[in-house]
Structure 1
Amino acid sequence: MEMFRFDRAETVVDRFGSTGTAATGVAAGEGAVRLTCLTITPGGVLGAHPAPVEQLFLVVAGEGWVAGPDGTRVPVSAGDAVHWATGEQHGSGSTTGLTALALEGPSVRHLAPAAGGPAAG
């Protein structure tokens, strides 16, 4: 067993007009699958940009907003997940702080919950 922290905020993200955002690579796998921990500080923004591949944005702490191609900000909080398709313009931010895991890869798909029930898996 090997223990490590994934919320280290190793790399400041300043592309796409981003502010108050940092990323830590957590894992990578076959087929260009990658898991990244994103930390958005209070008032921070991860600027709008196209998804390079299929992407799941899993909010694990805090609250904030996400936006798709139309720029409309939709509130999110811990436990919420967002899927962005390859090439889809998107951004995110927070007034109080947010931590999310971004799972990316050409074959990444989410498992939709059954109608009225918990997520299948």
Structure 2
Amino acid sequence: MEFYNFKKDIGVNITKFDSNFVMSRIVRTVNATHIGFMYLDPDGIIGFHQATMPQLLLVVSGSGVVRGESEEYFKVEPGTAVFWQKGEWHETKTDRGLTAFVIESEELNPGSYMAKVET
């Protein structure tokens, strides 16, 4: 399990085409990629299971905890990205609710775009 940061303060200010916004880069893929958005209500859980392919969870709102193969849980909040390799056991749960994007692709390499966070 690896943690990354996609918070606004690590993004890049974009001014091209008279734009004015901050972009936090996530990933780039060439092959098929599944992108979904998850809504976990209070006391919601994504049960303990193996990742069927490399998977990146990007927390947008709320908070919760995640774990990998060990029973140690790590707090996640908006701006936290968690990456699991194919076959890695993992779980996500929340007391108050959480929303997140999930990106699944055989070629994910979030470290090529995002800053890794040491846990």
Q: For residue 65 of structure 2, what is the aligned residue in structure 1?
A: 65
Paired amino acid for 1:84: W
TM-score relative to the length of structure 1: 0.66
CA RMSD of aligned residues (A): 1.9
The answer to whether the aligner puts 1:87 opposite 2:113 as a matched pair is no
Gaps of 5+ in 1: 1-28, 115-121
Paired amino acid for 1:88: E
Gaps of 5+ in 2: 1-28
User: SS of the counterpart of 2:31?
Assistant: helix
Paired amino acid for 2:105: G
Paired amino acid for 1:66: V
| Number of aligned positions between the proteins | 87
User: SS of the counterpart of 1:35?
Assistant: strand
**C-alpha separation in 1, matches of 2:40 and 2:100:** 8
Deviations 1:4-63 (A, max 9, x none): xxxxxxxxxxxxxxxxxxxxxxxxx96331001111110111101101111110001110
The answer to whether the aligner puts 1:34 opposite 2:34 as a matched pair is yes
**C-alpha separation in 2, matches of 1:105 and 1:32:** 7
**C-alpha separation in 1, matches of 2:71 and 2:106:** 24
**C-alpha separation in 1, matches of 2:114 and 2:82:** 11
**C-alpha separation in 2, matches of 1:62 and 1:104:** 22
Higher relative contact order (CA 8 A, sep 6+): 2
- Percent of residue pairs bearing the same amino acid type: 33
Runs of 4+ in structure 1 off by over 4 angstroms are: none
- 1:69 positional shift: 0.5
**C-alpha separation in 1, matches of 2:50 and 2:115:** 26
Change in Cα spacing, 1:97 to 1:70, as seen in structure 2 (3 Å) is same
TM-score relative to the length of structure 2: 0.67
